[in-house]
Structure formats: structure tokens, C-alpha cells
Amino acid sequence: MRQYFTKLNVLLLFLFGQVAITGYAQDAGKYPSKPITFIASSAPGGTTDFTARVLAQPLGLALGQTIVVENKAGASGAIAAAAVKKAEPDGYTLLVQYSGYHVITPLVSKNPLPWELKDFQPVANVISAPQIVVIRADLPFKTMSELVAYAKANPGKLNYASSGNGSLQHVTGAMLEQQAGIKMTHVPYKGTGPALADLLGGQVDLTFGTPPPFIPHIQTGKLRALATTGKKRIPSLPDVPTATEAGLPKLDATSWFAVFAPINTPAPIINQLTTEIAKVMAAPAFKDRAIEMGAEATYMNPKQLGEFIKGENTRWTAVVKTAKIEAD
């Protein structure tokens, strides 16, 4: 009898174990089963934040779960990236990242960063936005060729603002100098806001940046856009030529904003996320919101985004090394 109960106990333990394992497998296979967090690498109001928020609501509806946007600005994106790197690779904590932080920052940083490119898996590119070359409206230049001609005749006299040493604006300015054969004076600021304020106040001559903060001032005539750094004109600024049209075909400094997951996130979760993001981005309402912001909905799947990042890394490495740029 004692032997019988022993065998029965073993059998029951085995059956309970199988039920527990099966239940766990079913729960693990159901994604998402709880809210998802987008960690945006910038403060509210910028294009990174816009990307996270314009995607969160429709993607949450498609997945049947709430997506919360959490802004972790600072340290050139390192705070947000480090937080996502440490998160469980389960698809519930995702990084919404800006290209300047993801590609440029590792190239210009003097000190080791708390993250590396290999710590993340690409999920999807969402928004692409060219930078625009913007000058004070009281300057006499109407075209890029006029600005370049003046800069060649007056080396170092024109000064351009950026959001900081090693920022994408700084590197774009260096790219313009290299390609046009000119020399300007770089004036770094702690963010686009202060740089824009001094541009409007006449303390600096020009700057570069994605369109959203500049479009209202261009429309009121306080600033003048000379060129866009993308491959085609911006619908919200139809009269502004591309850099190619302005005689600088290699001045391509488009910013992009993408979603990443921690490394080792299961492939089925990555596939589900990128598939649903692609569907959301195909909707006319999503495309229209991006255009209103002077940007474009530009989907790339994980493989395409990974290959694109490799190309970006190679291209910007050459610019940074030639200009000998380092971050503070």
C-alpha cells in the first residue's frame, strides 16, 4: 500500500508539472499579454517623441494592449539606451531611437558608452526626416550657392549653431564644409531650442535640423530655408530645393527614427511587432501626420534596417574622422 501511494504521488507530481509547463508555454506564447513601454531617447516635443507617440496609439490598438511612452532624455540618448539594454528581452520594453544618437554618438564619444549597437535588435524604421539648412532672414543669401560663395571669400566668418559638440547638426556642418570647400565657425549649444533662440535673435547665422521646430518661423519669414538634405523636396516646404538641386549632391543628412528591442528578444515577437508596425504605417492617416511634421513615414523591416545602419555607420565614420569631431 505504501508503495502504491508513493507511485501515485510521483504520478500526480508529474501531471501537475506537465500542466504547469503547458500553462506557462501558453502564457509565454501569448504576446502581448500586458502593456508595452516605448522608451523615447529625447524629451517631449521633438521628432523622437513625436515618432513614439504617433505610433503608440494605433499600434496598441492593433496589438490589443496599451503602449505607454516614457521619455528618458539626456546623455545623447545613453540614458534611454542603457535602460532598454537592461530590460528583459520579452518585447515589453522597446527603444524609440534617433539616428544621431544611435550612429553618431558612438563615433564621437571620448568615453565608453553604457551600450553598444550589438545590444539591440532592429524592429522597424518608422520616420525619416531630412535636415534643412536654415539662415537668418536678414542675411542676403537667397540660395546655397550664394552662401557657399560668401563662405569661400570669407573663411570662418559665417558661424553655425548646433545642439552640441558631436551632434548630428555639428557633423552636418562639417559635411557641408568638406563638400563645399568652405570654413565656418561652429557654435555649440545645449539643445536645438537654445540654438534656435539665438538664430532668431541674430547671434548666429545658420543652423541645421529636422523641419518641425523651424517650419513655423520659415512660414512667418523670420528664417529662410536654403536647402533640404534629403533626396526629395519636403511637401510642407515645396519651394525649398534639395541639396542636389542646390549643387551639393552628397549633402545627404537625413535623420531617421526607429524602434529597437533588447538583444535576444524572441524572433516571433520581433516578427509580430514589425508586421503590425508596417500595417499601421501604411494607413493614410499615419502618412499624413508625418508629412505635416515635415517628415515621411519610411518603413524598413529588421533586416533592411540592420543593413541600413551598417551603411550609415560607414558613411558617418568618414565624415567624423576627416573633421576630427569629438563630443564633450
The predicted pLDDT at position 29 comes to 58
Overall average pLDDT of the 315-319 stretch: 87
Fold of 132-228: D-Maltodextrin-Binding Protein; domain 2 (3.40.190)
The predicted pLDDT at position 116 comes to 95
What digits encode the pLDDT tens for the residues 263-291?
999 999 999 999 999 999 999 999 999 98
Q: What's at 56, amino acid-wise?
A: A
The predicted pLDDT at position 213 comes to 82
**Confidence check: pLDDT of 130 > 80:** yes
Choose the weakest-confidence range: 14-18, 61-65, 114-118, 196-200. Answer: 14-18
pLDDT band for 191, please (50, 70, 90 cuts). Answer: confident
The predicted pLDDT at position 309 comes to 96
> Pick the residue with more confidence: 88 or 5?
88
What angle (nearest 5°) sits at the alpha carbon of residue 13, between those of residues 10 and 17?
140
Q: How far from each other are the two terminal CA atoms of the chain, in whole angstroms? A: 78
Q: Which CATH architecture has domain 31-129+255-323?
A: 3-Layer(aba) Sandwich (3.40)
> Pick the residue with more confidence: 11 or 154?
154
Alpha helices in the chain (DSSP H): 2-29, 47-63, 78-86, 99, 105-108, 144-153, 168-180, 192-201, 215-219, 267-281, 284-292, 302-323
Cβ atoms 141, 169 nearer than 8 A: no
Q: What percent of the chain has pLDDT over 70?
A: 91
Overall average pLDDT of the 300-326 stretch: 90
What's the whole-number average pLDDT of the chain?
88
Span(s) in the chain for CATH 3.40.190.10: 132-228
> Pick the residue with more confidence: 162 or 27?
162
Choose the weakest-confidence range: 36-40, 108-112, 197-201, 202-206. Answer: 108-112
On the CB side of 288, CA atoms within 13 Å amount to 3
Overall average pLDDT of the 315-326 stretch: 83
List the grid coordinates of 168.
548630428
Q: How many residues does the chain have?
A: 328
Span(s) in the chain for CATH 3.40.190.150: 31-129+255-323
- Please tell me whether residue 273 adopts helix, strand or coil conformation: helix
What digits encode the pLDDT tens for the residues 10-20?
444 443 444 33
What does residue 238 show for φ and ψ, rounded to 5 degrees? -65, -20
Overall average pLDDT of the 124-152 stretch: 96
Cβ-Cβ contacts under 8 Å for 290 (sequence gap 6 or more): 54, 127, 296, 297
The 3-class secondary structure across 195-229, one letter per residue, is HHHHHHHCCCCEEEECCCCCHHHHHCCCEEEEEEC
What digits encode the pLDDT tens for the residues 209-226?
888 789 889 999 999 999
Overall average pLDDT of the 176-203 stretch: 91
